[in-house]
Amino acid sequence: MARKQARIGVLVQEKFALQLLYQRNAHHLQRSRGDIDLLEFNRDKLYERYEKWKNKTQAKRQNNLNLQGQILALQNNPPN
């Protein structure tokens, strides 16, 4: 009978320890999910900023090419 009581005591302690671990892991999982949402939000914002920058630099490059073409046309066709 004493061995049964001791075994029950050990099992109760193990159950309590496992419940604490479960609660801690559940809390970490919840925080991780929140972090994932924040990371996805920041990634989307960063991608929007990258696209804006890329379009701006592409427009500048195109403008430079247009100006170079105009300069070349003026050099090859001097005014009368």
E-state strands within 1-80: none
Q: Is residue 29 part of a domain?
A: yes
- The parent domain of residue 4 ranges over 1-74
Q: Measure CA 12 to chain center.
A: 42
Q: Is residue 41 part of a domain?
A: yes
Q: Is residue 80 part of a domain?
A: no
The predicted-structure confidence for 1-41, as pLDDT tens digits, reads as follows: 889 999 999 999 999 999 999 999 999 999 998 899 899 99
Q: Is residue 26 part of a domain?
A: yes
Q: Is residue 38 part of a domain?
A: yes
**Given this model, what pLDDT does residue 77 score?**
84
77 phi and psi angles, rounded to 5 deg: -130, 80
Token representation of residue 7: 């075994």
Is the pTM value of this prediction over 0.85? no
Sign of CA pseudo-dihedral 77, 78, 79, 80:
negative
Q: Is residue 59 part of a domain?
A: yes
How far is the C-alpha of 76 from the C-alpha of 78, rounded, in Å?
6
If one counts the domains in the chain, the total is: 1
**Given this model, what pLDDT does residue 54 score?**
95
Q: Is residue 50 part of a domain?
A: yes
